[in-house]
Amino acid sequence: MLVALLLARGRFPGKTLLDGLVHLPLVLPPVVTGYLLLLSFGRRGLFGEALANCCGLVFSFRWTGAALAAGIMGFPLMVRAIRLSIEAVDRRLEDAAETLGAGRIGVLFVVTLPLAAPGLLAGLVLAFAKALGEFGATITFVSNIPGETRTLPAAIYTLTQTPGGDAAALHLVLVAIGLSLLALVASELLARRLASRIAG
Amino acid sequence: MLKVAIARRTGDFSLDVAFTAPNGVTAVLGRSGAGKSTLVSAVAGLVRPDEGRIMLGDVALFDRAARIDLAPRKRRVGVVFQESRLFPHLSVRSNLLFGRRRRRGATGPSFDQVVETLGIGALLPRSPRSLSGGERQRVAIGRALLSAPHALLFDEPLAALDSERKGEILPFLETLVREVSLPVLYVTHALEEAQRLAERLVVLAAGRIVAEGPLEQAIAAAGLASAGDRFLDGVTVEATVAELDERYGLTGLSLGAHRVWVPGLIGQPGDAARLRFLARDLALALVPPERTSVRNVLPGVVRGLKRGEGPYASVMVDVGGAVLRAEITRRAADDLQLAPGRVVYALVKSVAVSRA
């Protein structure tokens, strides 16, 4: 959210660079992202080694790594949605709030974010969907270890490659469809409630 | 007391103004593009002038030389915008209290007082989106008042409303601006609004002040600069009710040393009233006419004369206490040999004088 805010309202040198960096995982082949993660957060990686030494946090071939990969892949989508919704908030309302005695932070929490709420929600759902479906970066970074880093898509892929795994794969497919539908419906309902509150 | 002396340049438009607004209403009149909105934004702190100073009482809101530029929230300037700018996700009540909550311990009218004066009690639980334009503007005015401001700015608050809604809000505005003892800047492009609400007037054109001063003087001064302007169809003057003629249903008002009769019974002796003299309803004579139906014959002195391109001429007559404007033909002006300094009698039919 902070990054989205910076990109929406900030004016600073290197904004384009940050913008590009945030969106990189969106356009890079996921395998490349996964490999880069492996290089930097792996056991011998640039950050991975330091993190493992100081806090005992290990990413490679652990579920934490799967979460990190999913997060990195979902991040640009979320930032994008949140940024657009913040940009859509009427600056004149923020001005009005300031003349009424609200400080910058106050304006953010009382005016900007509530008005951008539907967009924030959309961003979360998009990120969730991307994280759920992430395959390429995850499998490159943390492989496909049962009970540790086997994500839903990875599990389905494994089962389709296994003789006689079709039925189990179908089950998981149903689970995936169910989860996705649930997320979509929930977000739609929430967004509608938020929107009606804003639109009165 | 609000003192503004600022300059700002954007692209090929430049604003360069200096004026003082004491407690009471100062109208800023100008067409779109005259720099009115920039002026409001600069005083509110939403745009930064290139040069100059803005003082509110003893507090410098902006001072280029001293590198002072107070944040909008610290300026204590209440703004009513043209598009009301209510917060759509908050109820009317929360909107009203938005500024109040952030300025605890502030003095000023109470919530109940403001709600009652503006007649918005029934709207409190509603959402701003469900209000009519006029209701929204009333809430916006209440919100600004309740933020305990030290000055009020109105940026064309009625421009987006139809004439019916304007009529609905003007009485509220009139009451309010008389009750608050703050400097009030009322920006508008409609002279009628300025005449109803303001005591002082600043006329703005292309980023410069054309005329400034007490209402009627500024109007007259601007009139000399551009006769035939639609702003200047008439002159509004302050008069005092002196006597009522109940038999004929007439009211006699003192205007300077003169008595002006207007139809209808207006208020009580001693009350202030504003009269509007339309330029085309004024006739001029060199000797006082006798046996005439015209009830108001005001001796005065020609202060200015403006001949237009067409058949018209515009004459400013100082009748002592007010400067009236008469729109006559160029030929009549020549026949009467009108020139500044000449003594004339301004004739106004009672039925042609209206209350502003």
Domain annotation for chain A: domains and CATH numbers = 2-199 (1.10.3720.10)
Residue B154 has pLDDT above 90, yes or no: yes
Q: What local confidence, expressed as pLDDT, does residue B80 receive?
A: 93
Facing A95 at nearest CB: one of B46, B88, B128: B46
Average pLDDT over residues A173-185: 86
Q: Distance between CA B83 and CA B154 in Å, rounded?
A: 11
Distance CA B25, CA B32 (A): 21
Token digits of residue A105 = 């932070």
User: Could you tell me the pLDDT band of residue B52, with boundaries at 50, 70 and 90?
Assistant: very high
Q: Which amino acid is at B55?
A: M
For chain A, first and last CA: distance in Å? 26
Q: What is the rounded CA–CA span in Å between residue B77 and residue A103?
A: 14
Query: How many angstroms separate the CA atoms of A78 and A83, rounded?
Result: 8
What pLDDT does B3 receive? 93
Cα dihedral across residues B63, B33, B219, B260: positive or negative = negative
Instruction: Spell out which residues of chain A touch residue B76, defining contact as CB-CB under 8 Å.
Output: 101
Q: What is the mean pLDDT of residues B29-44?
A: 89
Q: Write out chain B residues lying below 8 Å of A113, CB-based.
A: none
What's the rounded mean pLDDT across residues B131-159? Answer: 90
SS3 B196: helix
For B102-109, the CB contacts below 8 A with 24+ separation are: B102/A100, B102/A101, B102/A102, B102/A106, B102/B73, B102/B147, B103/A101, B103/B76, B103/B147, B103/B148, B106/B147, B106/B148, B107/B148, B108/B145, B108/B146, B108/B148, B108/B149, B109/B145, B109/B146, B109/B179, B109/B180
The two structure tokens encoding residue B133: 């334009």
Domains of chain B: 2-232 (3.40.50.300), 234-355 (2.40.50.100)
Min Cα separation A104/chain B (Å): 9
Mean pLDDT of the A149-165 span: 82
Residue B33 φ/ψ, nearest 5 degrees: 90, 5
Query: Cβ contact (<8 Å) for A100 and B88?
Result: no
Cβ–Cβ under 8 Å, residues A86 and A112: yes
The alpha carbon of residue A145 and the mean position of all alpha carbons in its chain are separated, in whole angstroms, by: 23
- Placement of tokens 């000797």 in the chain: B287
SS3 readout for A4-31: HHHHHHCCCCCHHHHHHHHHHHHHCCHH
Question: What count of other Cβ atoms lies within 10 Å of the Cβ of residue A192?
Answer: 11
pLDDT computed for residue B39 by the predictor: 93
Least-confidence region, from A133-147, A162-176, B8-22: A133-147
- Please, what sign has the CA dihedral across residues B47, B52, B54, B60? positive
Contact A82, A127 (CB under 8 A): no
Residues with Cβ < 8 Å from A75, sequence gap 6 or more?
A: A22, A25, A127
Q: List CB contacts (< 8 A) between A111 and chain B.
A: 87
Q: Which DSSP state fits B249?
A: T
Pick the residue of B89, B103, B132, B141 with the most A CBs within 10 A to test the interface with A by mutation: B89
8 A C-beta contact, residue B328 and residue B247: no
* B77–A198 CB contact, under 8 Å: no
pLDDT per residue over B169-213, tens digit each? 888 888 787 778 889 999 998 888 888 888 899 999 888 998 898
Q: ipTM of the assembly?
A: 0.71
Place of tokens 């504003």: B274
Nearest to A69 by CA among A41, A97, A89, A88: A41
- Express each pLDDT in B87-103 by its tens digit: 998 999 999 999 888 87
Q: What is the pLDDT of residues B218-245, one digit of tens each?
A: 877 776 444 344 444 677 788 889 998 8
Q: Of the candidates A100, A197, A200, which has its C-beta nearest B102's C-beta?
A: A100
| Gap between the Cα atoms of B301 and B323, Å rounded | 9
A117 CA: distance to closest CA in chain B (Å): 10
pLDDT given at position B224 = 40
Listed range (A33-42, B25-34, B225-234) with the worst mean pLDDT? B225-234
Whether B72 sits inside 8 A of A99 (CB atoms) is yes
pLDDT score for A56: 66
Chain A residues touching B108 at Cβ < 8 A: none
Considering only residues B141 and B217, tell me which one the structure prediction assigns the higher pLDDT. B141
Tell me what the pLDDT averaged over chain A comes to.
80
